[in-house]
Amino acid sequence: MNLDDIYNWILGHSQNYPGKHQESQPRTIPSYKPLEAKAQFHIVIKATAEYIKEKMVNGNGVNMKELGAFTMEVNSDYVKPLQHSGFNMTQDLGIQRAERKHIHQIRPCFVPDCSFQYFLARYPGKEEITKPLSQHSIYQKGFGMNFCNPGPIAASCYLGKDVVQSIHNSLIKAIHDLTRLGHNLNIDFGFIKINIQNRDLKYKYEQSFINRLNQTDYELKMRQSDLATSQHWTTTYQEKWSKSTLNNLLTRPNPGQVQDNYERSMALKIMSLDLNTAEKTDYSKKQKVQLPALNK
C-alpha cells in the first residue's frame, strides 16, 4: 500500500479516523476554492515533506510525534593538534574552514518512535545514531531536533492549522493500524522512502538529498556564536518566511482575475434564480414576437 491507498483507507473508515480531514474544509484565502478530502491529504503531506527537507538542509532534525525522527548522524574525524594541523594565523578563517569540509560526513537517519516500534518486528534501533552528551531529553534523537510544527505547513497550503494536525494524526494512526494488521507499506515522502514488509521497517534517502546535505557547511551552522543574539531577535518572521521553500509551494492567483470570475459566477446564479422563480404566462402563445433579422 502506498500513500494514496492509505488515504483511501482513512476516508473509507471514518468511524475509526474521525476529524476534519474527512470533509472538505474552507481555505484561509478566498481566492482558493475548497479541495476534496483526498486532495487535502496530498497537498498537506507534500508540504510536510518539504518542511522536513528544509529543516534537515538547515542542519536540524524533525520529530513527528508517534511516527519518528528525521535526523542525521554527523561523523567527524579526530582533530589534529594545532602544531600538527598546519594552522596558519595569517590566513582567513573562512578559507581554512572550507578546506576542512571533508572532515564532516553526514548520514541521514530515521528513528521510529517508541509507540511505532511496538508494532514493528524489526527496525533500526536507537543505537544507530550517537546521541550527543549535551542532550538529556529522551525526545532528543539527533542534532538540533524540532517538533513538526503544523503552523508553517498550514500557511503554505492555505488551510487551517487544526486541519493539518488532524491529517497528521490520522495518517500516523493509520500507519500504526496497517502495520499491526500485517499490511506492506511503501511510504514515499520524496526525499525518503520508508518501506515496511512483514513488519520489518527499512528506509532509504535519495542520493541527491544526501549529496545536498554533504555540501552543507555544518561546521558553520553548528557554531552558536556565528549569528549574534541581537540579529536573531531583530530578524522578522516575514524575512524568514520569504526565504522558505514552503512560501513558494503554491503560487498565488491573480486577484483581479479571481474577482472577475467570482462576479461572473454570481451573475449566472442570479440569472438562473430569476428564470426558475419567474411566473409562468401564456404571453408567447397568444402573441407572435417579431425578432430582428440576423446580418450574415
Give the three cell numbers for residue 17: 479516523
pLDDT above 70 for 84: no
pLDDT above 70 for 158: yes
Looking at residues 144-161, what average pLDDT do you find? Answer: 86
- Per-residue pLDDT, 186: 92
Looking at residues 77-96, what average pLDDT do you find? Answer: 56
Could you tell me the strand order of the sheet in which 185-188 lies? Answer: 185-188, 192-197, 200-205
Q: How far is CA 177 from the centre of its chain?
A: 22
pLDDT above 50 for 183: yes
Average pLDDT, the chain: 77
Give the three cell numbers for residue 190: 520524496
Q: Are 141 and 71 in contact (CB under 8 A)?
A: yes
pLDDT above 50 for 234: yes
**Tens-place pLDDT, residues 198-231:** 888 888 998 888 888 777 655 555 444 445 556 6
Assign 167 a pLDDT band (cuts: 50, 70, 90): very high
Assign 174 a pLDDT band (cuts: 50, 70, 90): very high
Report which listed range, 100-104, 112-116, 212-216, 219-223, is most confident. Answer: 112-116
* Residue 172 one-letter amino acid: I
Looking at residues 162-188, what average pLDDT do you find? Answer: 92
Cβ within 8 Å of residue 113, ≥6 positions away: 64, 65, 66, 67, 68, 69
- Per-residue pLDDT, 100: 58
Q: Write down the domain spans for the chain.
A: 3-248
- Per-residue pLDDT, 225: 44
Q: Percentage of the chain surpassing pLDDT 70?
A: 68
Lowest mean pLDDT among 12-16, 251-255, 276-280: 276-280
Assign 88 a pLDDT band (cuts: 50, 70, 90): low
**Tens-place pLDDT, residues 3-47:** 999 999 999 988 888 888 988 888 887 777 888 889 999 999 999
Cα dihedral 136, 147, 55, 77, rounded to 10, equals 20
Looking at residues 149-169, what average pLDDT do you find? Answer: 90
What does the angle CA 249 – CA 242 – CA 224 come to, to the nearest 5 degrees?
115
Looking at residues 48-75, what average pLDDT do you find? Answer: 85
